[in-house]
Structure 1
Amino acid sequence: MDKKIGSFFDSVGSFFSGADVIPWCDRDIIAALEGEAAEGGSGVSEDAKKESIMRLSWGLVHSKRPEDVQRGIAMLESSLNSSSSPTEKREKLYLLAVGHYRSGDYSRSRQLVERCLEIAPDWRQGLTLKKVIEDKIAQDGLIGIGIAATAVGLLVGGIAAAVSRKK
């Protein structure tokens, strides 16, 4: 019960803080996905192996741990050229975009989601991610403008103070 209440307050807090809508994946789920991918190495079909690796990649790029995200990005990049269908390529591009978003590389994330949308222009998941990325870029831009304006204000104020002391 306490866990559900905590989860509720976390979700309300993320709503008011403007947090993104991309889900997170915890360490327990990633460990289970790693076990599944390791078991996929023996006696299962090639499709089952690919599917378990895709699930692991999904978990890694949705992790809160930066090293997991980087590992997921590396796995996806190494398998991107071997995609057999446009849908598979779209999924990998999307997950790469999520990974780069999570690691703070918003311009690369936007490039990847745009490539994803070239394959499926009306794909809602891709369109939602693109909006989240663009909102984050705009938010960071406003913060940067605010910092620059403050720095200019301090510089002008310092110059004005120095000039008024000399008089």
Structure 2
Amino acid sequence: MEAVVGEVVAPEDLEKFEKKYKAELSKGSVSKDTQFEYAWCLIRSKHPEDIKKGIVLLDELIHKGTKDDQRDYLFYLAVANYKLKEYERALKYIKNLLRNEPGNSQAEELEKLIDKAMKKDGLVGMAIVGGIGLGLAGLAGLIGLAVAKKSA
């Protein structure tokens, strides 16, 4: 699963699908396949702005696709949000997919990866908050000591 979330699109592929997407857009109508291919390239970019564009395109497709299409859209929306460290959103999409397809092993694997990242981020967050708390307690102690010495 790490290979899927860590995959980076080749710049020439991104360029190719962007041209195809823009050509169809200029004619007034973009096919679902073209929009999906371009979105799929965007979410595999190294650049967060590209990933966000891919999310918008996939989000539009959710309402247009068949149930099979939606599985792919939900999965890649989860991947894209995971890459942006938007773990709550990623989890929402993957749980939606699993509600429609219980037992989808790829989705279950991604859900575990998201949970692991959330726990890691949570532990890091708690350590930072704990460190700030200790720092404030230490500062309060020093101030108390200084006041006590002044009074004495």
Q: TM-score range by the shorter chain?
A: 0.7 to 0.9
- Are residues 1:69 and 2:67 paired? no
Using the TM superposition, give the Cα deviation of residue 24 of structure 1 relative to its aligned residue in structure 2, in angstroms. 2.1
* Distance in structure 2 (CA, Å) of the matches to 1:87 and 1:36: 23
TM-score, normalised to structure 2, is 0.82
| Residues 62, 98 of structure 1: 8 Å contact kept | no
* Distance in structure 1 (CA, Å) of the matches to 2:40 and 2:63: 17
TM-score, normalised to structure 1, is 0.76
Using the TM superposition, give the Cα deviation of residue 92 of structure 1 relative to its aligned residue in structure 2, in angstroms. 0.7
* Distance in structure 1 (CA, Å) of the matches to 2:116 and 2:11: 28
Give the counterpart letter for 2:126 in structure 1.
Answer: I
**1:1-167 superposed matches below 5 A:** 20-21=2-3, 22=5, 23-38=7-22, 49-83=31-65, 85-165=66-146, 166-167=148-149
Give the counterpart letter for 2:141 in structure 1.
Answer: A
Q: Using CA pairs below 8 Å that are at least 6 residues apart, which structure has the higher relative contact order?
A: 2
| Residues 32, 61 of structure 2: 8 Å contact kept | no
Identical amino acids, percent of aligned pairs = 24
CA offsets 1:75-100 (integer angstroms, 9 cap, x no match): 111121111x2111111111111222
- Provide the aligned length of Structure 1 versus Structure 2: 143
Using the TM superposition, give the Cα deviation of residue 39 of structure 1 relative to its aligned residue in structure 2, in angstroms. 5.9
Give the counterpart letter for 2:93 in structure 1.
Answer: L
SS, match of residue 52 in structure 2: helix
| Residues 78, 89 of structure 2: 8 Å contact kept | yes
* Distance in structure 2 (CA, Å) of the matches to 1:120 and 1:70: 26
Using the TM superposition, give the Cα deviation of residue 115 of structure 1 relative to its aligned residue in structure 2, in angstroms. 0.3
* Distance in structure 2 (CA, Å) of the matches to 1:106 and 1:134: 8
